[in-house]
Amino acid sequence: MPSETPAPAPERRTSSTVGVLVITAGVLAALIAAALTALSAGASYALLGLPDPGPVTQYGLPVVRVVAESGAVVCIGSLLLAAFGIPAMRSGPLAADGYAAVRTASWAAAVWCVGAALMVPFIAADATGRPVGDVLSVDVLFGLVDALEEAKAWALTALIAFVVALVCRVVLSWGWTVMAFALGLVGLFPVIATGHSASGGAHDIATNSLLVHLFAAVLWVGGLVALLAHAARRGAHLPLVARRFSQFALVCWIAMALSGVINSLVRVSPTDLFTSTYGVLLVLKVVGLVALGAFGYFQRRSVVRRLDDGAGAAALLRLGAAEVLIMFATIGVAVALGRTPPPAGGKAVPGRTELLIGYPLDAPPTLFRLLFDMRFDLIYGTFALALAGLYLLGVYRLRKRGDAWPVGRTIAWMCGCATIFMATSSGIGKYAPALFSVHMGQHMLMSMLAPVFLVLAGPTSLALRVFKPAGKTQPPGPREWLLAFVHSPVARVLTNPFVALALFVGSFYALYFSGLFDVALTQHWAHLAMNAHFLLVGYIFYWPVIGIDPAPRPLPSLGKVGLVFASMPFHAFFGIVLMMSQTVIGAAFYRGLDLPWMTDLLADQRLGGGLAWASGEVPLVVVMLALLIQWSRADSRAARRIDRKADADGGADLAAYNEMLRQLAEKDTPRSK
């Protein structure tokens, strides 16, 4: 038809406008970063006792970092949109709009990879106060990268971005898009773990808050860019996509605001906000964040309503363009902030223990200190509180509409969340990085006790009852995503009894007897990863054994008992090996802490081995008790079904059974002659 022929042209022009917008915003961020870096660049090199490396290194580094971060933002935001914004087809493959977002992510990942790779020589030159051209020889560059953790982090980031770019070129299904999105998020970790927040006093709080801050910022900014690109492509379901992003953006803004305040208080006192370059840049960043929050709250709400009425796409693009410019300007300020040394502010020089774990430990652990000497973990403490709140909200919604939910499951969930909280935010979490015995206690709580409570609470069943089905003619939503994960090949593989057992018990030996634990002790991010691994493998192991939620691979009753008993010898042997060992695991790190009240590291390790050996009995008791209760309830349900059937058919089954017995008796009785 003639009227349909010219339609693609305006769409291409509008789509290209979004590309021009992103490039313009990136250039703006780079100029702001370079200009603001000039305010304190010379002082930074003088403070470190380094010569001035020249303008190419001095101003090229923030520009290249803006390029890398812009690529990461667009890549992860596009994958977020393709995975959870644009509905995929019910048969599994991505819809056309989702595929377009993934293709955008592949190009953005390539930019991210190039920017991260360029950061390696710039970091090497900056750290040594040399022009970047002087470090480009292979021998010099590789030698510097080997000595500089931040250069290694950027090299690893470049590798991850390269893999993401390759995956995005071939991905066609929703499941693989989610995997690419998760891999993109992993690519943000290395740089966070080696920035200035990862060193000095209170670096545990600084790193955790920066982790939350950066993730929220990337998802928010990237998600908005992807939303604008989707609107420019005149993509399907635009009101739904915009509504989903609007709710998600609010959560990201709150997370950014809270984590930003916490991170700032670690580095700057209120009196330094207007008397130091670092403080002034921080104020500029806060102003941008507040403006973005007000912008999004008061403006996008009206735009989303107009989209629901079938209009407002042009207004969304105009509003989003201004918001993207402010967002990227804030990124430029953040890059300059990362290049600016925080003010000393008369703070005392941190001691050796504080430098290594982030805080001092002035007294040995006692039962009272382990329980009540709190140091809130921003990651796992917040995670535990959020899990508890979301579960209670789900129960409230069920009861509000008249549906019942077992109180015992709610109690089990609260106990699991409390276990996570105590393991990470009480004195146990505080002393765990410094004492092997306390770390082992934390390990047991996270892998063998908290998961038992969590699987007994049936969180998936609760979520499936709370989330409304999308309907056959509607795009899939959270309920469909959850079902897709439960029935995915990944879930089926992980819940395979042999895989679950290998992950659960093999982790002990792989972590502590391979030298991996010695390496992980010095890295804060490694402690976060260990706790995540402990909790995840514990949940995977106990889910098919005693979980309320149906597992992808259901086990028979004997299989459940056998799986539990199969794990016991491995735990017992692991604890015995630790108690009998004459070699201290992580000896260099623990000696480096130089704690005056810790003089016998081998005795502390043996205590940790005893905890590992003895604590394996507690989950076994809970598991066996749960299995007995579940079997008893299953028998009761079966008996009630039989009684109901008998009432309905007048006891036909029982009569038939009695008749069969009578006939058998007649056959066995000899006939009288």
Q: Minimal CA–CA distance to 143: which of 121, 126, 158? A: 121
Ranges of beta strands (E only) in 30-117 are none
Q: Which residues contact 648 (CB under 8 A, 6 or more apart)?
A: none
pLDDT in tens, 605-621: 999 988 888 876 666 67
Partnered with residue 93 across adjacent β-strands are 173
255 Cβ contact list (under 8 Å, min separation 6): 212, 213, 215, 216
- What would the pLDDT profile of 42-66 be if each residue is shown by its tens digit? 566 666 667 777 888 888 888 999 9
In terms of pLDDT, which residue wins out, 16 or 18? 18
370-379 pLDDT per residue, tens? 999 889 999 9
Residue 91 pLDDT more than 60?
A: no
Q: Residue 586 above 50 pLDDT?
A: yes
**Range among 291-305, 510-524, 634-648 rated most confident:** 510-524
89 — pLDDT class (breaks 50, 70, 90): low
Nearest to 456 by CA among 558, 552, 549: 549
Question: Please, which residues bridge with residue 173 across strands?
Answer: 93
Closest C-alpha among 207, 204, 265, 210 to residue 425: 204
pLDDT in tens, 517-566: 888 888 888 888 899 999 999 999 989 888 888 888 777 777 777 888 78
Q: Is the pTM higher than 0.85?
A: no
- For 294, residues 6+ apart whose C-beta sits below 8 A from its C-beta are none
Contact between residue 72 and residue 225 where contact means Cβ atoms under 8 Å apart: no
**Residue in the structure block whose two tokens are 């599994």:** 92
Q: How far is CA 596 from CA 201, 277, 364, in A?
A: 19, 39, 9
